[in-house]
Homo-oligomer: A and B are copies of this chain.
Amino acid sequence: MSLTGKTIAVLGGTGAEGSGLAFRWAHAGLTVIIGSREAAKAQVAAAALNALLGRAAIEGVDNATAAARGDIIVLTVPYAAATTTALGVKEHLGGKIFLDVTVPLIPPKFDRVQLPDGRSAVEQLAEKLGPDVSVVAAFQNVGAHHLKDLAHTVDCDVLVCGDSREAREAAVALAEAAGLVGIHAGALANAAAAEAMTSVLIAINKAYKAKASGIRITGLPPRT
């Protein structure tokens, strides 16, 4: 799927993961706006990203404005704020692609798999958003650490799960634009694996004193 002419709206784009993805997408030439609860905070974060980019590429607005103007809406807020943020802009999501990056990490045991109600958090969110929104999950396992350092290879594949092929293809294209490899990983229900894997990676970081463990999928045809 071509992302040309599309506006990518990153809700919670002032956080580490959201601003990192916004930076990489803007660097790749995509049209990116970041949203926050307060427009002023988003403007400050956008200014910092533009300084890093060396040009005024990214605009900062409040979440509702971002959702209204975006063609692809990306949710990167902490898990505790995910449902509220998404439902708060629901009126602007109809007919659009909604990319959920959030992970159900529940304090204090971040290193323990705790799927809410025993299935993927994104499935539950998708039900609340209704059938008119094409929900896809991706980037759950990608740490924010090195996203703003283009010289650093982020050694992690992006599992893309969704029930809409168009939405999955958009997420795979967004992974590529960020310098990563997006992999079609099946239905939205399969996001449970990616969500759970984040807790496993945190457990692995702890066990091996690593900072940013990740996953790679092996056994695929050669990547071009």
Contacts and interface: CB of A to CB of B under 8 A. Distances in A.
Interface of A: 111-115, 117-120, 155-156, 159, 161, 183-187, 189-190, 192-194, 196-197, 199-201, 203-204, 206-221
Contacts of A221: 208-210
A159 B211 CA distance: 18
A54 to B, nearest CB: 29
A112 B111 CA distance: 24
Copies in the assembly, this chain: 2
Contact of A193 (B119, B200, B206, B214): B200
Contacts of A119: 115, 118
Contact of A183 (B185, B189, B204, B214): B204
26 contacts: A112-B186, A112-B187, A112-B189, A113-B187, A113-B193, A114-B189, A155-B218, A156-B218, A156-B219, A159-B200, A161-B200, A183-B207, A185-B204, A186-B206, A193-B197, A193-B199, A193-B200, A194-B200, A197-B197, A210-B221, A213-B217, A213-B220, A214-B217, A214-B218, A214-B219, A216-B216
Contacts of A115: 115, 118-119, 192
Nearest to A116: B118
A67 B219 CA distance: 35
B186 A219 contact: no
Given A119-B115, A220-B208, A221-B208, A186 B199 contact: yes
A159 B207 CA distance: 12
A214 to B, nearest CB: 4
Contacts of A206: 186
B219 A210 contact: yes
